[in-house]
């Protein structure tokens, strides 16, 4: 009897435990059933910034790399030999045409001028005497008071004296020219380099003589670059005589193009090894900031203004060899669009195909979305839009407040 009573107690405890567990499960199930929205709640849609595709009139540009080159470059060499007695400029100074740069000892050349002048004076005296003698012979020959042979001798002596006078005068002129060469002047206006040969050194004349210094003009200045054959055929070869093809220039420390110029000349032949032709553009350089040899980025105008679709460069992604953008469709969902891109216009890129004007392109938040996913979009101006600044300037606080505190809900169809 005692064993049966103990067994019944154990069975009763087990049944009670089962009932407690069952009751707790029913309570949990009832609580879950009473809050079905909690179990089915989805994560919030990601937020993105979208901008409408722009349609603007643009001009196509081709970009090239080149170097600055002086319009006029002179290697200053001595034209007479002698000792340098004066250097009249500072290294790197701006000089004007005709300014004295070097002086070679003029004394030997002054002596040569004096000697030549004396020879001219002697020749003039001989010429005067010979002319007078011939004039007397002319009077006597009319009266047959002089032999014909004597007349001819006096005539010849007068002519020879005249020729000797001209030779003496030419020698004097040459001596004066050499004396002038002792003062070496700037042949053009520009910036002079350093003095390669200084005071006290003896220099020799001739094209093989080492240069005393170099001189380059400052303004205007050239930018030289090689244009590809296609650009030459499409645009540059169509230049009419006197026409000006616009170009823009940017330096290595600039992100944009700070100077405008025009194409000055095109070479007369195409380099068959590289398929390019040398082009020279002309720019004003009144501030002297551009110097020959500087690296330059040159943009050449490639077309007349024409309508084009533009998108922020940062919104364009790369998928292997393809370019794409994400757009938000009318249902507020993300769509993947393959695009063909053209030239760059500031921060914007020309779209040749794949989009239409007004399409809502995701410009911020592309890393958080997937095609087909619903998003909450905030419309913002396209970066680089020239009209965006005007719109924002009219009501900046309202636009900013609307974009941050009151997101635009996704559109539904």
Residue of 314, 306, 355, 360 lying closest to 333 (CA atoms): 360
Question: How many CB atoms are located within 10 Å of the residue 272 CB?
Answer: 8
> Which pLDDT belongs to residue 119?
96
> Which pLDDT belongs to residue 382?
86
> Which pLDDT belongs to residue 246?
85
Q: What is the pLDDT of residues 184-224, one digit of tens each?
A: 999 999 999 999 999 999 999 988 899 999 999 999 999 99
> Which pLDDT belongs to residue 369?
86
- The DSSP call for residue 368 is G
> Residue 356 and residue 337: Cα distance in Å, rounded?
11
> Which pLDDT belongs to residue 410?
38
> Which pLDDT belongs to residue 118?
97
Contacts of 186 (CB under 8 A, 6+ apart): 76, 95, 96, 97, 98, 99, 101, 192, 215
Residue of 19, 2, 46 lying closest to 368 (CA atoms): 46
> Which pLDDT belongs to residue 215?
96
Question: How many CB atoms are located within 10 Å of the residue 263 CB?
Answer: 22
> Which pLDDT belongs to residue 386?
55
pTM: 0.63
Q: What is the pLDDT of residues 264-282, one digit of tens each?
A: 888 889 999 999 999 999 9
CA atoms within 13 A on the CB side of 51: 24
Residues 334-339: contacts with CB within 8 Å, 24+ apart?
A: 334/362, 334/369, 334/370, 334/371, 334/372, 334/373, 334/374, 334/375, 335/371, 335/372, 336/371, 339/311
Residues of the chain with pLDDT under 70: 1-42, 235, 238-243, 302-304, 384-413
């Amino acid at each position: 009897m005692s064993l049966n009573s103990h067994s019944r107690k154990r069975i009763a405890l087990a049944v009670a435990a089962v009932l407690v567990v069952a009751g707790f499960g029913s309570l949990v199930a009832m609580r879950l059933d009473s809050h079905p929205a909690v179990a089915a709640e989805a994560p919030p849609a990601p937020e993105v910034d979208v901008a409408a595709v722009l349609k603007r009139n643009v001009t196509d540009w081709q970009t090239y790399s080149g170097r600055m080159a002086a319009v006029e470059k002179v290697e200053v060499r001595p034209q007479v030999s002698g000792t340098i007695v004066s250097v009249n400029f500072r290294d790197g100074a701006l000089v004007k045409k005709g300014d004295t740069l070097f002086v070679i000892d003029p004394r030997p050349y002054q002596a040569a001028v004096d000697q030549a002048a004396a020879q001219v004076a002697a020749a003039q005296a001989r010429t005067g005497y010979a002319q007078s003698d011939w004039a007397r012979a002319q009077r006597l020959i009319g009266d047959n008071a002089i032999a014909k042979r004597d007349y001819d001798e006096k005539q010849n002596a007068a002519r020879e004296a005249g020729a000797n006078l001209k030779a003496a005068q030419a020698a004097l002129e040459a001596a004066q020219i050499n004396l002038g060469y002792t003062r070496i002047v700037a042949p053009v206006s520009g910036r002079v380099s350093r003095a390669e040969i200084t005071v006290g050194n003896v220099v020799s004349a001739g094209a093989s003589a080492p240069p005393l210094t170099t001189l380059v003009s400052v303004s205007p200045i050239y930018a030289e670059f090689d244009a590809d054959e296609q650009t030459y055929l499409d645009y540059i070869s169509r230049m009419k005589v006197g026409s000006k093809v616009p170009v823009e220039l940017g330096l290595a420390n600039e992100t944009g193009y700070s100077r405008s110029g025009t194409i000055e000349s095109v070479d007369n032949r195409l380099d068959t090894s590289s398929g390019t032709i040398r082009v020279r553009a002309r720019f004003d350089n009144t501030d002297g900031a551009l110097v020959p040899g500087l690296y330059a980025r040159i943009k050449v105008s490639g077309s007349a203004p024409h309508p084009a679709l533009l998108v922020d460069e940062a919104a364009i992604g790369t998928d292997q060899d393809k370019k794409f953008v994400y757009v938000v469709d009318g249902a507020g969902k993300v769509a993947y669009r393959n695009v063909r891109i053209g030239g760059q216009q500031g921060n914007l890129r020309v779209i040749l195909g794949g989009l239409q004007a007004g399409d809502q392109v995701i410009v911020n938040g592309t890393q958080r979305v997937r095609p087909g996913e619903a998003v909450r979009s905030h419309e913002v101006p396209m970066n680089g839009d020239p009209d965006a600044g005007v719109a924002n300037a009219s009501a900046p606080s309202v636009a900013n407040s609307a974009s941050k505190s009151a997101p635009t809900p996704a559109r539904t169809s």
